[in-house]
Amino acid sequence: MQTIEIDRVDRKILAFLQENGRASNLELAEAAGLSPAQCHRRHRRLEEMGLIARYETRLAPARLDLNVVAFILVSMEKGHIRDLSKFTGLVLQMPEVLECYAITGDFDFVVKVIARDLKGLSNLLIDKVMRMPGVDGVRSIVCLEEFKCTSSLPLPE
């Protein structure tokens, strides 16, 4: 994969958008020190280059009565490579799953989930995750307090 070169102005635009996804072109142009027309062209170019993956709205989980965040460590049965695609396919369909990564070490996947309460987490684990094809074992880690949660990336100098 080739490295994409961006300049100081591109970094200003990307940094501002990471924190202000709903910014108007005028606000973005002011933050970047450009005219609105120049800013619009650069913004569109950054999108076309694939540097901007998507725009999203971040909701407040507690306001939606979603109070438990947990990380589930999943180990798959050895020799069941066919079940990996079934597992990942099911994970992609689960709205409770916020993130899922294949990992190294004693477990095969780490899955970040959200639930209303501990009973909801228990139901998710027992009724869904533990019943998925190829799952050999799970270990859950419940988050007690969130100190930082962001999708903003550090931008190169």
Domain residue limits, the chain? 8-48, 61-142
pLDDT at position 32: 96
High-pLDDT (> 70) share of the chain, %: 97
The pLDDT tens digits of the residues spanning 8-49 come to: 999 999 999 999 999 999 999 999 999 999 999 999 999 999
pLDDT at position 20: 93
| Per-residue pLDDT band at 99 (split at 50, 70, 90) | very high
H helix intervals, the chain: 8-19, 25-32, 36-48, 82-93, 118-123
- Strand pairing of 135-142 and 68-76? antiparallel
pLDDT at position 156: 80
pLDDT at position 80: 67
What is the architecture, at CATH level 2, of domain 61-142?
Answer: 2-Layer Sandwich (3.30)
pLDDT at position 82: 72
Q: What is the sign of the dihedral through the CA atoms of 151, 18, 1 and 6?
A: negative
d(CA 146, CA 15): 23
CB atoms within 10 A of CB 139: 13
Q: What is the largest CA-CA distance in the chain?
A: 59
| Per-residue pLDDT band at 146 (split at 50, 70, 90) | very high
d(CA 52, CA 72): 29
Which residues touch 68 (CB under 8 Å, ≥6 apart)?
A: 114, 115, 116, 117, 118, 120, 121, 142, 143
Mean pLDDT for the chain? 93
The residue to which tokens 């639930």 are assigned: 115
8-48 matches 61-142 in fold? no
Examine the pLDDT at 83 and tell me if it is beyond 90: no
Q: Of 76, 148, 140, 151, which is closest to residue 106 (Cα–Cα)? A: 76
Examine the pLDDT at 1 and tell me if it is beyond 70: no
HSE toward the beta carbon, residue 66, CA cutoff 13 A:
13
CATH number of 8-48: 1.10.10.10
pLDDT at position 84: 84
Q: Per the structure block, which two tokens stand in for 82? A: 């066919």
